[in-house]
Structure 1
Amino acid sequence: MSIEIRHIVFDIGRVLIHYDPHIPFSRIIPDDAERNWFFANVCTHDWNIEQDRGRGWQEAEELLIAEHPAHEDSIRAFRKHWHEMVPHAYVESVSIMEGLIAKGYDVTMLTNFASDTFKEAQKLYPFLTLPRGVTVSGDAGLIKPDVAIYQTHAKSFGLDPAATLFIDDSMPNVEGARAAGWHAVHFTDPQTLQADLSAYGLAV
C-alpha cells in the first residue's frame, strides 16, 4: 500500500479493554432469560448510548425508574457496578498501541464512552493516558458513527484525514470513519490488527 499513514486512532471498548455488562448482572439477575429480558427492555443499548452522548446517569436512571419502578435496584446497579463490566485489558492490543507510540507514531483515541466512566477507566487502566489525546463522545456530545465526531477529532488534534488510520471493533464505526475520509480497519483480534498495520506499512 503506497499510502502514508501519519496518524493512528484507536477505539477503546473491545479493542483495548474488555466490556461486558453481563458480568455483574449474572450475579444481580442470575436467571438468563430474565437478565436478557432486562437488557432488551430496560437497560437497553439505546438507553446506554445516550450516556455516551452526554446524558448524566441521574437523569438516565430516573427516566427508567419512572417506566420500570419494580426494577429500580437493577437499574441503579448498572452504573454502580460499571467497573465490573471492564474486567481486563487486551494485553496484546495494548502492546501494539504502546509499540506504535514508542516508535514515534502519532496515536490518539476516539471512543463512545460516558464522561465519568471514562475517567474511571483511565484510573483502572493507566495506559489510556499514553496516547497524545482522546475524544470522548460523552464530552463531545456526539457519538460514532456520526461523521461529525470524526471531523471533530481530526480538527481537535490536527489530523489529515487522508493520512489517518482508525481501528474499531464496530463495522458501522469503521464505515463512519471512511465516510469522514479516513482509512479504517475492523478490529477482530490482535493478530489481524498486526497484519492490517503491516499492510499500511506500519511496523510495531
Structure 2
Amino acid sequence: MAGVQAVVFDIGNVLIEWQPERFFDAVIGEERRRAMFAAIDLHGINDQVDRGGNFYDTIVAAAKANPDWHDEVMMWHDRWIEMAAPAIDHSVRLLRALRATEVPVFALTNFGIQTFEVAEPVYPFLKEFDRRYISGHMGVIKPDAEIYQMVEDDCGVAPAGLLFADDRIDNINVAAARGWQTHLFDGPQAWADRLVAEGLLTKEAAQ
C-alpha cells in the first residue's frame, strides 16, 4: 500500500456532531419527532441543500408542503446550528496536529453552501484545511463516485495516497473501490490510533 500523502476528513460526525433527531427529541419529544421523520424525508430534503440547493428556499418549500409540521420543519433552517453541534474536540486536535506536521489535510463533506457559511464562524477550524471539497459548491454528494473523481482530479494525489475518514460505510465503500485508503470513523480515539499506525502522528501528538 502506498504511503499516505494527504488525509481527508469528512466533517459531519467526524469533526462536528450532526444529530438532527437528537435535537428534535429535545425540542418536541421523541414521539413527535418519530412521527415527523416518518411523514417527511427530512434527510432527503437536506440532501437537496447539500447538492447546492438554496438552504432557505428548500426548507421553506418543505414547510409549505407539510403544513401540519410547518413550524417544526422551519426549525431545520432557523435552528440548524443547534443540530450541527458540538465540535468533536479530539478530532479537531488531530486535524491541527496533522497540519502542524505539514501533512496535507483536505475536507470532503456533504454540506450546503449556506449551511457552511453558517458553520464557519462558529467552528473556526473549518477554515484550516489545505483544500475543501464542499458538496454544495460541487453539485454532487457522497457517495456518488463523481465527487471522489473531482477530488482526485483537483488535488493531484493518487487514490492510494489518500487516507479518508468518514462515518458512513456507503461513503467509505465507494472511496475504497476507487483505491483510497479508508477509515470508518466511530470515534476519535480509533482515528487517532490509525494516524499513529500510519506514521503520520506520534502518540503524544495524537492525544
TM-score by length of 1: 0.91
Q: What is the RMSD computed on CA atoms of the aligned residues?
A: 1.7
Structure 1 segments, 4+ long, off by >6 Å, are: none
- Contact residue 23 and residue 84 of structure 1 kept, 8 A: no
Give 1:197 deviation, angstroms.
1.9
Deviations 1:84-118 (A, max 9, x none): 11222111111111101100101110000111111
Q: Aligned equivalents of 1:152 and 1:66: distance in 2? A: 35
Deviations 1:166-204 (A, max 9, x none): 011111111111122211111111221122223323224
> Residue 5 in 1 paired to residue 4 in 2?
yes
Q: Which residue of 2 is the match for residue 15 of structure 1? A: 14
- 3-state SS of the aligned residue for 1:55? coil
> Structure 1: which 5+ runs fail to align?
none
> Residue 112 in 1 paired to residue 110 in 2?
yes
- Contact residue 3 and residue 200 of structure 1 kept, 8 A: no
- 3-state SS of the aligned residue for 2:86? coil
Q: Which residue identity lines up with residue 3 of structure 1 in the other structure?
A: A
- Pair 120,59 (structure 1): closer, same or farther in 2 beyond 3 Å: closer
Q: How does 1:163-174 map to 2 (within 5 A)?
A: 163-174=161-172
- Contact residue 111 and residue 135 of structure 1 kept, 8 A: yes
Q: Aligned equivalents of 2:63 and 2:17: distance in 1? A: 28
Q: Which residue identity lines up with residue 11 of structure 1 in the other structure?
A: D
Match of 1:44 among 32, 42, 45: 42
Q: Aligned equivalents of 2:162 and 2:70: distance in 1? A: 44
Q: How many residues align?
A: 202
Deviations 1:94-152 (A, max 9, x none): 11111011001011100001111112111101011111121111110110011110111
Alignment identity in percent? 35
